[in-house]
């Protein structure tokens, strides 16, 4: 598509923009750069009557406003007709590809797309983002609001063992542990150690998980969430798409090499798979 120029004030933000966090220092720096060097890549818009909806390039558009530049180079794409799902998908993929989106903004976008397209596998195919990534992000939506905010700002490590531990704590303890971790710059290992003490103090037993083994582990099999689920459920019926996503998620886990009932009992994935299977 060829680019053209539009008045900055004829463009409105994308109502389906999944991203909510924009760093003011980065925007100011981008505004200076654009003022001195010009815009390297046009933004993408969609016509809506006399106005244009911003599809990709909100940071560049905001930077033009800061710099006081009245016109901006754009590519006008055909109007979407899927109740905003296309706009959301395009904006989500653009942000994820730049690794500039908050984890919870990303999770909420996936949640909306799952409702729109019916299931996680359909969203994965539409966006090109793996099932495992989508499942992992969705876990965050079960945490306390304050913890979600810190994850959205990427101030906490995105580690499934940390997320699993946080989910076992009360909402107040989640926020307390998250706040201390950020203020003291704790890494994954320290957070897990402090969180385990907090959980044990509250009456939990992270160190001695209750696991009812009903089957033997298949010889030569690598332990993962699916094996864990098979040990604790008499019968499971998980879709092939969910199995592929689960295996990919487990392989990405830093504890995969040490996986076993004790470790995997602390992970949210087996329970999540059990809910998917309707058990």
Alpha-carbon distances of 107 from 19, 48, 56, 80, 254, rounded to whole Å? 10, 28, 19, 23, 21
2: Cβ contacts below 8 Å, ≥ 6 apart: 75
Q: Catalytic: 258? A: no
The secondary structure of 25-59, three-state, reads HHHHHHHHHHHHHCCCCCEEEEEECCEEEEEECHH
User: What is the pairing mode between strands 3-7 and 71-77?
Assistant: antiparallel
Radius of gyration of the chain (CA): 22
93 and 99 in contact (C-beta within 8 Å)? Answer: no
Longest dimension (CA), the chain: 69
| Angle (nearest 5°) at CA 184 between 179 and 187 | 90
| Angle (nearest 5°) at CA 104 between 98 and 106 | 40
108 and 116 in contact (C-beta within 8 Å)? Answer: no
Catalytic choice (26, 36, 46, 58) = 58
CA distance 171 to 185: 21
The residues assigned a catalytic role are 58
């Amino acid at each position: 598509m060829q680019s053209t120029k539009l008045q900055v004030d004829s463009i409105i933000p994308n109502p389906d923009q999944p991203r909510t966090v924009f760093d003011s220092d980065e925007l100011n720096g981008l505004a200076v750069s654009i003022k001195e060097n010009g815009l390297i890549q046009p933004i993408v818009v969609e016509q809506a009557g006399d106005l244009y909806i911003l599809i990709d390039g909100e940071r560049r558009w905001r930077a033009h406003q800061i710099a006081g530049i009245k016109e901006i180079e754009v590519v006008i794409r055909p109007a979407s007709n899927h109740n905003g799902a296309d706009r959301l998908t395009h904006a989500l993929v653009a942000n994820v590809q730049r690794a500039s989106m908050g984890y919870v903004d990303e999770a909420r976008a996936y949640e909306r797309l799952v409702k729109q397209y019916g299931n996680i596998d359909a969203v994965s195919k539409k966006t090109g983002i793996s099932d495992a990534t989508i499942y992992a992000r969705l876990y965050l939506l079960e945490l306390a609001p304050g913890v979600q905010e810190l994850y959205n700002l990427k101030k906490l490590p995105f580690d499934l063992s940390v997320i699993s531990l946080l989910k076992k704590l009360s909402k107040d303890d989640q926020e307390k542990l998250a706040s201390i971790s950020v203020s003291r710059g704790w890494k994954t290992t320290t957070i897990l150690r402090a969180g385990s003490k907090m959980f044990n103090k509250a009456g939990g037993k992270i160190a001695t998980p209750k696991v009812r083994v009903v089957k033997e582990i298949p010889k030569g099999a690598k332990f993962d969430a699916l094996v864990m689920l098979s040990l604790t459920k008499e019968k499971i019926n998980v879709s092939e798409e969910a199995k592929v996503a689960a295996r990919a998620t487990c392989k990405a886990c830093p504890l995969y090499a040490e996986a076993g009932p004790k470790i995997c009992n602390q992970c949210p994935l087996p329970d999540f798979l059990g809910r998917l299977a309707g058990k």
